[in-house]
Amino acid sequence: MFVNRRRVHIEWGDCDAAGIVFYPRYFAMFDASTHALFEAAGWKKVDLRREFDMVGFPMVDTRARFLVPSSYGDDVVIETQVAAFRNSSFDVEHRVYKATPDGEVLALEGWETRVWTGRHPDDPEKLKSRPIPKAVIARLTT
């Protein structure tokens, strides 16, 4: 699978009163990581729209499991890949690694199921799930 890694600096404003990342912030980081995965593969969202007439890939199901907390000033690495493609939906996996005195540890994991969506053929005001383009699948599975 095509994997994208990006470094994220934990900001003061990412943390809650316990001094650790407020977990909804991780979902925002994951959303940015999924967009970054497609960008790294060659497609900004604007390219996906132009090239494939898609509108977006809304989330239908997401989960995260938290193992080691992070705090302001930490640097983490988010590793993102598509775990599975189906006809019009796909699963994304994120693994977040953090350097510690004992070496790099898995700090949290995230999973997403998204639907490839375009305009409804009968009503351009409406959206409809659409088959994921073969070029996208080919690029992200190699």
Q: Tell me which amino acid residue 25 is.
A: R
Pick from 2, 5, 40, 45 the residue near its own copies by CB under 8 A. Answer: 45
Q: What tokens appear for 46 in the block?
A: 């604007």
β-strands 59-66, 89-100: how paired? unpaired
Joined together, the tokens standing for residue 114 give 């998204």
Shortest distance, position 11 Cβ to its own copies, whole Å: 4
Stretch binding its own copies (CB under 8 A), from 25-33, 78-86, 87-95, 130-138: 25-33
10 near 72, Cβ under 8 Å? yes
Site for its own copies in 89-128 (CB under 8 A): none
Residues between 73 and 92 with contacts to its own copies, criterion CB under 8 A: 73
Least distance from C-beta 71 to its own copies, angstroms? 8
Active site residue 16: yes
**For residues 105 and 94, what is the distance between their CA atoms, to the nearest angstrom?**
14
